[in-house]
Amino acid sequence: MELPFEKKQRKVYTKKESQTNLEYGISPEDRTITELLNNGVICLNKPQGPSSHQITEYAKNILEVGKAGHGGTLE
């Protein structure tokens, strides 16, 4: 069972070929853990009981990050 975007196969068109300069910017897969912890996403199994907000707080404490937000409660 797939959501519409999971079924969709998109083609990639080239409008104008160009190269990227490696002196600036960084590919997602080359980022350091610190960079990921300041600009990343995780998906946790939410146990019953604690609220989404509490789980987010736990995750923040574990990862020692200053800021985190969750993607909406169930209802």
Partner 1 sequence: MPIALGKASRVLRVLLLSGKEYVCLMHLHKDISEDIIRKELNAYIGKITQLPPVKSAVKRVHRQREIYYIDIIEIDGRDVLFRIGCQAGTYIRKICFDFGKKLNMGANMQELIRTKAGPFNEKEIYSLQDLQEAFLLYSQERKEKELRKIVKPVEFAVKHLPKIWVHDSAVNSICHGIDLSIPGISKLESDIKENDLIAVLTLKNELVCIGNSLLTSEDIIKNDKGKVLKTERVFLDSDLYPKWKKDTV
Write out the residues near partner 1 by the rule CB under 8 A: 1-6, 8, 10-22, 24-29, 31, 33, 36-47, 52, 55-56, 58-59, 62-72, 74-75
**Shortest distance, CB of residue 48 to partner 1, whole angstroms?**
9
- CA dist 65 → 18, 21, 22, 25, 29 (Å): 37, 31, 28, 23, 20
Looking from the CA of 66 toward its CB, the CA atoms found within 13 Å total 2
**Shortest distance, CB of residue 20 to partner 1, whole angstroms?**
4
**Shortest distance, CB of residue 53 to partner 1, whole angstroms?**
10
- Other CB atoms within a 10 A radius of the CB of residue 52 amount to 15
